[in-house]
């Protein structure tokens, strides 16, 4: 099927461009990506692609976004050497602190970019899907900041599990719509947001929360998250004798913090490692497929019915993975590994006790791989490693209290 | 009806629909979700008896992005009953309703099997048309080739917002019929036929001699008759599935189809 889906010349076109650059009008990353949406959404996707290209080439838009990220979201975020944990592990561990941004995760970088773009396009409303509620909260925040209405679609099962975030979104002025179809989780919230967008594209922008969805979303969201990797690259240069870490690690659900992080290092010798949850490892356990408008690795049965992911971390509980990650895995430029729920929980506790930092369960997956790999051939003693700490763990306190 | 390009490799579905259309008949294509009930093939026979010109058969997918609440519910019910594409196509192959069948499903079920193998399986089951709403015109090349090779007509959808150049491409590539989506929205019943239905059908009929059918939100005999003033025919889905979900028997839903048939011009 992969051959059947590949457009003629796509590979050649791709080889001419450097890694993690503009995928071009086909929205292909190698054989992955594309725009598998109903005809009713094609015009909206084309308008968005054109608007993003125009804005991204416009210094005034870039300046407005940079200023908002600095004055509102708290960028740049620091890179913190984890000194005690480094000593324990025998490696030099640096943490890119997205947990210190406003709203507490990297999600704000993308949301502010898309909200500014939506306003520039004359849209008055933002639509968003959310799993754990982090992207929903970030979208509600950006909507409040820019005076845009916000409707967040959330699976009813997730609403029960994340009542605090539902309350936060409503406090920020957003409408939260419960989704009762299918598994009543993130994948169903995505489907429902897409359905709503078909009817609302005139005045609403669909603010997708990760490097997924139809072209131009995977590319656009990666560009809005690129700031994570580019900042970290500069910060590593001043902290490390050899300027670039040996290994760069990030957790992967849809894969937005990893995409932004990797974009800053893809043209360096650094090894790139994406860490998936064992219960939702689309790269390791999925097969090529089409879901929510893009072609990538997807957890599915032998007939092609989508399977649910099962992770302790709601933010990683998605059966697919961004198409550019599928391509980076195929080409071998990045490696994808997985860790278990228990390993992630243990990593939260370890970082909290050694560094005084409470990471989100999602981010703890990246850290858990480092804890496991340190001192092995995967991460030999003396290595330098950068982990993107994509979010803070306050939101998980209730859940952790029941587990630890 | 100015410049109508000749069609290539027309399949059974299109040949059949063209003949009926050219005889003056407004085309009626009712829908059923395969696997909805144990006796779901009986809906096919009831529809054929009620005067359907072809039947659209939904192969249920876990995440039907373009479907509203009714078809979602029907798909969920079929999947919970253990429906699989293989089993449903086997049941379809012995149903023999006597009118052409077009399968509607989503990209992942097609590509999981492989476009060529999937289309061959359809052909073996006696299916002569295929509708895949999340494979738009730009992504349809390989699937279109696979369908043609298997003798299956790949039906493409057109929307009210589709730009003129795109619409031309869709009209040229679509086989069987061109599926005009009347509303910017998902499948589902609507109180009135959308204003965009007429202009879309008109634009499409300028571009192709292939039958142009309107669908989405056509629920009543009156709406169907109104749509057939602009187009060659209609697809009726959610209104029938709502009745089936509420327990209507194949004969009862067939009577609904017959009522729509009576409201339409006959050849």
Contact at CB, A302 and B112, closer than 8 angstroms: yes
Check CB contact under 8 Å for A4 and B116.
yes
**Total tally of structural domains belonging to chain A:** 2
Q: Among candidates A256, A323, A259, which has minimal Cα distance to A291? A: A323
Catalytic residue among B14, B53, B67, B232: B67
What pLDDT was estimated at residue B9?
A: 54
Buried b (16+ CB within 10 A) or exposed e, B83-107: bbbeebbebbeebebebbbbbbbbb
Min mean pLDDT across A36-50, A149-163, A219-233 is at A149-163
Boundary (domain end) residue, out of A195, A217, A239: A217
Active site residues of A: 107, 129, 390
| Same domain, residue pair A152 and A240 | no
Q: Are residues A111 and A96 in the same domain?
A: no
Residue A248, classed as helix, strand or coil, is: strand
* Count of the separate structural domains present in chain B: 1
> Does A343 share its domain with A234?
yes
Q: Chain B interface, mutation test: which of A10, A39, A177, most B Cβ atoms within 10 Å?
A: A39
DSSP track, A16-82: HSPTTS--TTTTEETTEE-----HHHHHHHHHHHHHHHHHHT-HHHHHHHHHHHHHTS-PSPPEEE-
The answer as to whether A9 is a domain residue is no
Q: Is B138 labeled as catalytic in the residue annotation?
A: no
Q: For residues B204 and B193, what is the distance between their CA atoms, to the nearest angstrom?
A: 18
Tell me: the pLDDT tens digits for A247-274?
Answer: 999 999 999 999 999 999 999 999 999 9
Is B39 noted as a catalytic residue in this protein?
no
pLDDT of residue B4: 42
Q: Is B141 on the interface with A (CB under 8 A)?
A: yes
Distance from CA of A5 to the nearest CA of B (A): 7
Are residues A7 and B186, on separate chains, in Cβ contact within 8 Å? Answer: no
Does residue B238 belong to the interface with chain A, where contact is any CB pair within 8 Å? no
Residues of B in contact with A40 (CB under 8 A): 66, 157, 159-161, 181, 184-185
Mean pLDDT of the region A90-112: 98
**pLDDT(A93) > 90:** yes
| ipTM associated with this complex | 0.94
pLDDT in tens, B90-108: 999 999 999 999 999 999 9
pLDDT of residue A18: 67
pTM of the model: 0.95
Average pLDDT score over residue span B80-84: 97
Kindly report, residue by residue over B237-251, the tens digit of the pLDDT: 999 999 999 999 999
Residue of B66, B70, B105, B183 best to disrupt the A interface, most CBs of A under 10 A? B66
Please give the residue range of the domain that contains residue A250.
74-105+224-403
Kindly report the backbone phi and psi dihedral angles of residue B112, in degrees, each rounded to the nearest multiple of 5, phi listed first.
-60, -45
Q: What is the pLDDT of residue A36?
A: 98
Decide if B148 is inside a domain: yes
Query: Given CB atoms, is B173 within the 8 Å cutoff of chain A?
Result: no
Largest CA distance in chain B: 49
Domain that holds residue B117: 12-261
A118, A83: one domain = no
Q: Please indicate, yes or no, whether residues A101 and A111 belong to a single structural domain of this protein.
A: no
Does residue A387 sit in helix, strand or coil? strand
> For residue A204, what is the domain's CATH number?
3.40.50.1100
B1 found inside a domain: no
* Per-residue pLDDT, A317: 86
Are B115 and A4 a contacting pair at CB < 8 A? yes
| Judgement on whether residues A61 and A86 belong to the same structural domain of the protein | no
Residue B202's CATH number: 3.20.20.70
Q: Smallest Cβ distance to A303: which of B65, B67, B84?
A: B84
Handedness of CA A22, A196, A169, A178 (dihedral sign): negative
Last residue of a domain, one of A199, A217, A235: A217
Nearest CA in chain A to B133: A38
């Amino acid at each position: 099927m992969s051959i059947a889906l590949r457009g003629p010349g796509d590979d050649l076109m791709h080889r001419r461009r450097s890694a993690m650059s503009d995928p071009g009008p086909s929205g292909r990353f190698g054989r992955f990506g594309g725009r598998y949406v109903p005809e009713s959404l094609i015009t909206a996707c084309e308008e968005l692609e054109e608007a993003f290209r125009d804005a991204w080439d416009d210094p005034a838009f870039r300046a407005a976004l940079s200023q908002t990220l600095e004055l509102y979201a708290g960028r740049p975020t620091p890179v913190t050497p984890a000194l005690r944990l480094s000593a324990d592990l025998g490696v030099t561990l640096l943490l890119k602190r997205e947990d210190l941004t406003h709203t507490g995760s990297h999600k704000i970088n993308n949301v502010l970019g898309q909200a500014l773009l939506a306003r520039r396009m004359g849209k008055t409303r933002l639509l968003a899907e959310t799993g754990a509620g982090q992207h929903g909260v970030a979208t509600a925040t950006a909507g409040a900041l820019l005076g845009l209405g916000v409707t967040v679609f959330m699976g009813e099962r997730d609403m029960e599990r994340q009542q605090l975030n539902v309350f936060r979104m409503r406090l920020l002025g957003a409408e939260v719509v419960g989704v009762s179809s299918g598994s009543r989780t993130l994948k169903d919230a995505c489907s429902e947001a897409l359905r709503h967008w078909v009817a609302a594209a005139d005045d609403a922008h669909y603010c997708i929360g990760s490097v997924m969805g139809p072209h131009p979303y995977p590319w656009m969201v990666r560009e809005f998250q690129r700031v994570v990797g580019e900042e970290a690259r500069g910060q590593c240069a001043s902290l490390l004798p050899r300027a670039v870490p040996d290994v760069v690690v990030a957790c992967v659900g849809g894969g937005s913090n990893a995409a932004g992080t990797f974009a800053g290092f893809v043209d360096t010798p650094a090894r790139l490692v994406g860490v998936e949850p064992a219960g939702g490892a689309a790269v390791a356990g999925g097969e090529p497929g089409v879901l929510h408008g893009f072609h990538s690795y997807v957890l599915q049965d032998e007939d092609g019915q989508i399977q649910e992911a099962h992770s302790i971390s709601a933010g990683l509980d998605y059966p697919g993975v961004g198409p550019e990650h599928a391509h980076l895995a195929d080409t071998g430029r990045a490696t994808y590994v997985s860790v278990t729920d228990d390993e992630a929980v243990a990593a939260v506790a370890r970082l909290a006790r050694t560094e005084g930092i409470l990471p989100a369960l999602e981010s703890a997956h990246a850290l858990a791989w480092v804890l496991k790999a340190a001192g092995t051939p995967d991460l030999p003693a003396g290595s330098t490693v950068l982990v993107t700490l994509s979010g803070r763990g306050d939101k998980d306190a209730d859940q952790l209290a029941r587990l630890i | 009806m100015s410049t109508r390009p000749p069609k290539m490799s027309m399949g059974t579905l299109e040949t059949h629909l063209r003949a009926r259309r050219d005889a003056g008949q407004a085309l009626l294509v009712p829908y059923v979700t395969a696997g909805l009930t144990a006796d779901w093939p009986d809906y096919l026979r009831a529809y054929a008896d009620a005067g359907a010109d072809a039947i659209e058969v939904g192969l249920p997918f876990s995440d039907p992005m373009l479907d509203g609440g009714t078809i979602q519910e029907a798909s969920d019910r079929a999947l919970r009953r253990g429906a699989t594409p293989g089993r449903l196509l086997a049941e379809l192959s012995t149903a023999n309703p006597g009118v052409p069948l077009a399968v509607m499903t989503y990209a992942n079920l097609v590509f999981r099997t492989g476009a060529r193998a999937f289309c061959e399986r359809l052909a073996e089951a006696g299916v002569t048309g295929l509708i895949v709403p999340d494979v738009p015109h730009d992504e349809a090349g390989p699937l279109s080739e696979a369908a043609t090779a298997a003798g299956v007509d790949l039906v493409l959808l057109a929307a009210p917002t589709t730009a003129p150049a795109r619409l031309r491409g869709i009209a040229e590539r679509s086989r069987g019929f061109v599926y005009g989506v009347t509303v910017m929205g998902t499948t589902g019943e609507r109180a009135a036929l959308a204003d965009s239905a007429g202009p879309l059908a008109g634009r499409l009929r300028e571009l192709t001699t292939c039958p142009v059918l309107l669908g989405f939100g056509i629920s009543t005999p009156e709406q169907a008759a109104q749509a057939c003033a602009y187009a060659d025919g209609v697809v009726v889905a959610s209104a029938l599935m709502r009745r089936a979900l509420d327990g209507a028997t194949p004969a009862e839903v067939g009577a609904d189809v017959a009522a729509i048939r009576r409201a339409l011009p006959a050849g």
